[in-house]
Structure 1
Amino acid sequence: MADPAPIAAGWERASAVPAWRRILWALVLALPLLWQLGGTPLFDVDEGAFSEATREMLASGDWGHTTLNGDNRFDKPIGIYWLQATAATLFGFNEFSVRLPSALACWVMALALAGFAARRWGERTGLLAGMLTVTTLGFQMIGRASTADGLLNLLLVLATLDAWRFIESERKAPLRRTFAWVGLGLLVKGPIAILVPGAAVLVWCTGSRRWAPLRRALLDLPGWALLLAIAVPWYAYALHRHGMLFVEGFLLKHNVERFTGTIGGHAGSPLYFLVVLPLLALPWTPLMVTVLARWRATWADPLGRYLLGWSAFVVLFFSFASTKLPHYVLYGHAPMVLLMARALADASPRLRRVVAGGLFATALLVTALPFLVLHFAPTVRDPFYRALLSGAPAPGWMPAALFVLALGLLLAWRPVQSPSPLRLAGAGGALALFIAGVVLPWFGEALQGPVRRAAAVAASRPGTVAQWQLHLPSFAVYLQRVSPKREPLPGDMVLTRADRLPPYDDSRMRLFEERGVVLLGPRR
């Protein structure tokens, strides 16, 4: 069992914080996730697909099953759609409501990581853990997206942290909570909800040569009963309703085949995540490098071994999977955030200067990105995206310049001293707000603006819009009716690409055309 003395000391330091400061700080953590949450169009394909499936569920009144443009959708279990539909019922169906469950999930995850760190390493480390969570680029992206990954990451964090609490205390309560979080995770994403916490415990038990915690968890019948009671009813209903279609669509295609085969062209080498992870860790990548450089000392500590094992398993497991998507590696980034927060809290002046340099370099990259995209857009190979990006509105240089100047002054203030960890965290927060308020809206307009405007034109006319030679689920969301991907019928409107107009284009009139997005209508 872990030594309880440091844990008790951390608890006392965390408990000494006044309640009003905790509440204020928790609200500050929500800002990077909620700021301009509905100010950007839905991005295709994933945001559009999840949001349209939720819209169709609300329209049908069938909350037991999801469809996408009328076809069965077996990609994910039902959990995220229930939450999105609930938010849409409360706040109306819009970008804000379908993204809200992800934003709140990442906010709660930040609070959970902060509380865990504060009770073990002190109040300042806890505060930094929360700030690093909501300002890390990868978590900010999934926390502002209407997909299942923000919610899944929350449940993985809750389950795996409670599994550690069980290991260190041998109490049943955290173990039972672990089973409950896993059960909910099965309703949100699937088997990965069991795999990550289970692997974290297995790696720790193997490295520590202590098998009793794993044995007690595996033999805890009430815990397994709780897990099954949460997850089995919907799975049983789906199996009863769809039979082998559900087994083949969800279990085989979207779970087994994602590991053994490539889905959607998302392939990559075994080194894929070694490139992606430092980018998703921005602007805190120097801290991640520091943690990895000190891995031997961290591994010698029981909790450090648990966190490193958790993170390493996720990277290795998905590196050998055939289908690779950037957000997969985030399933193991939360433990790295805890270790990074501890490293920042104890950082030497030299390390703090390196982190400040990383923050400023990231700010330069982020502010320059829209300008770089416009500059290189004519060289994009795909004609559709070349047209979309080449015609995008010019970004404003004044906000970018003022932001970089202000951030530079914040980091360079009192140059005799290195920036304090809290000042660095504040700079990270400012960068996250700039990304949410300026950068993401620009990319939303560049990639999705014409799609949303085409939907507004189509929505004013009766009839079906067939998507031909492209797949933009967000179009159906803004159209507010199903828009199937198929060959168009004579009376259909047609959404297509300018570079792939159908051969019978002359028999239809152009209702809308902008930056490669074309909407055709039948001639009356």
Structure 2
Amino acid sequence: MPRKYWLLLFAAAAALLFAGNGSLLITDSVESNYALTAKEMVLSGDWLSPQIYGHYWYDKPIFFYWMTALAYKMFGFTEFASRFFPALFGLGSVALLAWGGSKLENARSGFISALVLLSSVEFFLISKSVITDAVLFFFFSATLLFFYLGYRDGRARYWYIMYAAAGFAVLTKGPIGVLLSGLIITLFLLWQRDWHVLKRMHLVSGTLLCAAVVVPWYAVMYSLHGSDFINTFFGTHNFLRATVSEHPRDDVIYYYTLVNLLALFPWSGLVPRAAYKWWRQGHRSLEEQQKFLLLWALVVFIFFQCMATKYITYTYPLLFPASLLLGSMLAKHTDCVDGGYMIFVGGGFGLLLVGAWFAVSHQLIASELLFLLPLALIIGVMLDYILRLVTGERVCSIAAMSAVFYIALIFSLAIPFSEQRSAKNLGEMLTENDVHEVGLYGKYHTSAVFYSSSKIVKLMHEREVAGYVPKDFSWTSKNVMPYATLERNPYRFVVVTTKSYDRFIAQQNKKWQVIDADNSWIMLRMKHI
């Protein structure tokens, strides 16, 4: 592949993954937890024990919090800083896939595989989200890629990179970082009936390297917090997730089928054709590399389908082998598209972009799944043809067009959506009125705490307390935000949503005065009698 195509690829990737990150607000309920925890790490000076609302928080290991806190030290407590390392690791994943595809086959396959990943809707979204998955994706993919390169080529450095990457995966997400990759490797060796490779894998020194990455932080946490850390981190956030569904409505057999058809858009349409082709080949005629990549993707899919708790992002790691498989297939069968088709598709994506903007600006989209659908359709319609033009000068103009389109998408659709899912306006209201402690009646918004640094206390009725108080080995253990009862509300200031204002006033025997308000929130101050 000519050098200019590689430069174009990484320039486009950098532009797409970083554009608009300073304007995408921190959203509830997931991003705000990570952002606030990293912020408290910086403010408290405690870079070992994650904490939120002033309490120790054992939801995830330390690495992602370190990265986010480091970004805050560099750029301040901003949206850009919050999204800096997810975008950077997303860029690293594109580079890893491009390099890996080139090593496994050839430069053309690596280039197209990287473009498949970059243009997949889930990769684009997660690389701009304040969650652990972009970082885990990089280390988990590196673990398995370097295993296979070591298995095929036998070079010691590949094995050692594998062990180090596995250690950082565990430091990012927990035991799943090594257990799942270990399961895939074990099943592959069973399929190959090749256990002699264990003698070449440098198991002792490699395991020591992995342990050197993982053990220090876990050992320090256990020495500082003992059974609280073990029970909460391993009990609630690992064992409980696997055995008790946090969201029972999502525990259906077709959940990840739908999720991954959407995640792979616009390439999901190629999956049935590719699956049929591989099925016709039969497992005996599959190439060794195809076996490994297919096993990698299938084990991730089946493993998380068997888990009780299901999240959209859990099967995200299968996007790496899927991109390699589809990229290899596209590299061997690439057709050109005439200019008339390009004009047709360009007009189509323009209309869809306007329609999606209208839906978000008029708050017709209220959930993540409904948000993903129009986004996937818009991207899919345009990108369906982009990567077919991988020869000649056309690729430069098409890549530039895709970059402009994504940037337009961010500012017209993603930013308005983030404003609907964030309570930054409440945080600014508290800061402007110099309110440091306030009761909140209604749904709790952690993003308001991040943006204001105020102590926000959830108000509830006394009858609700028993079902809310955190308990070990229960999902209530995640209820770590401060709370108080409405009947004994000790706070002079209270904020309520505009929709719940009348209900709140009707339940009170105290007099309240409105001191500030916007379209979403009303701030009240208790009147002196």
The TM-score range, normalised by the shorter chain, is: 0.7 to 0.9
AA aligned to 2:141 is V
Q: Which residue of 2 aligns with 1:126?
A: 110
Which of residues 427, 434, 446 is equivalent to 2:408? 434
User: 1:54: which partner in 2?
Assistant: 38
Query: What are the equivalent positions in structure 2 for 1:27-426 lying under 5 Å apart?
Result: 27-214=11-198, 217=201, 220-263=203-246, 267-296=250-279, 297=281, 300-347=286-333, 349=335, 367-372=354-359, 377=364, 420-421=389-390, 426=399
Tell me the SS of whatever aligns to 1:54.
helix
Contact 1:37 1:96 in 2 (8 A): yes
Report the count of equivalent residues: 477
Verify the 8 A CA contact 2:334 2:388 in the aligned structure 1: no
Tell me the secondary structure at the aligned position of residue 238 of structure 1.
Answer: helix
Q: 1:371, CA displacement in angstroms? A: 2.9
Matches of 1:52 and 1:298, distance apart in 2: 51
3-state SS of the aligned residue for 2:90?
A: helix
Distance 1:263 1:515, change over 3 A: farther
Distance 2:317 2:384 in 1: 31
- Which stretch has the larger CA shift, 226-235 or 424-433? 424-433
1:121 CA drift (Å): 3.0
CA offsets 1:65-114 (integer angstroms, 9 cap, x no match): 11222222111011111111111111111000011010000100000001
Q: Distance in 2 between matches of 1:224 and 1:351?
A: 50
- Between the aligned partners of 1:274 and 1:361, the Cα distance in structure 2 is 27
Q: Matches of 1:86 and 1:301 in 2, distance apart?
A: 43
* Superposition pairs of residues 480-519 of structure 1, within 5 angstroms: 480-485=453-458, 486-487=483-484, 489-501=489-501, 502=504, 503-504=507-508, 507-519=511-523
* Whole-angstrom CA distance in 2 between matches of 1:46 and 1:238: 23
- Distance in 2 (CA, whole Å) between partners of 1:200 and 1:267 is 25
Q: Residue type of the partner of 2:356? A: L
Residue by residue over 1:412-457, the C-alpha shift from the partner in whole angstroms, topping out at 9 and shown as x without a partner, is 99xxxx9524668736545433332321012122332xx2122111
* Counterpart residue number, 1:471: 444
Per the alignment, in what secondary structure is the counterpart of residue 294 of structure 1?
helix
Q: CA deviation at 1:135?
A: 2.2
Secondary structure of 2:514 counterpart:
strand
Offset, 1:306: 0.6
Stretch of structure 1 that moved more, 495-504 or 74-83: 495-504
CA distance, structure 2, for counterparts of residue 303 and residue 62 of structure 1 = 45
Q: Which moved more, 1:202-211 or 1:299-308?
A: 202-211
Instruction: Describe the shift of the 1:508–1:261 C-alpha distance in structure 2 as closer, same or farther (beyond 3 A).
Output: same
User: Could you list the runs of 5+ residues in structure 1 that have no partner in the other structure?
Assistant: 1-13, 387-399
CA distance in 2, matches of 1:106, 1:316: 24
Once the two structures are superposed, what CA deviation does each residue of 1:105-147 show, in whole Å capped at 9, x if it has no partner?
0100000001111233332322222222222111111110111
Structure 2 CA distance for aligned equivalents of residues 342 and 361 of structure 1 = 28
Greater CA drift, 132-141 or 207-216: 207-216
Structure 1 residue 245: Cα displacement: 1.1
The residue identity in structure 1 corresponding to 2:497 is R
What secondary structure sits across from 1:187 in the alignment? helix
Amino acid at match of 1:369: A
Q: Call closer, same or farther: CA 1:464–1:51 in 2, change over 3 Å.
A: same
Shift of 1:511: 3.9
| TM-score, scaled to structure 2 | 0.81
Q: Take 1:196 and 1:40, find their aligned partners in 2: how far apart are those partners? A: 32
Q: Alpha-carbon deviation of 1:38?
A: 1.3
Matches of 2:240 and 2:349, distance apart in 1: 36
- Seq. identity, %: 22
Structure 2 Cα separation of the partners of residues 319 and 411 of structure 1: 28
Structure 2 letter corresponding to 1:313:
V
1:522 aligned onto 2:526: yes
Q: Is the 8 A contact 2:336 2:388 kept in 1?
A: no
Amino acid at match of 1:285: S
Residue 443, structure 1, aligned to residue 417, structure 2: yes
| One-letter amino acid matched to 1:132 | V
Change (3 A) 1:510 1:347: farther
Query: Cα distance 1:216–1:262, how it changes in 2: closer, same or farther (>3 A)?
Result: farther
SS of match in other structure, 1:333: helix
Residue 21 of structure 1, CA deviation: 5.9
For 1:326 and 1:351, locate their aligned partners in 2 and report how far apart those are by CA, in whole Å.
33
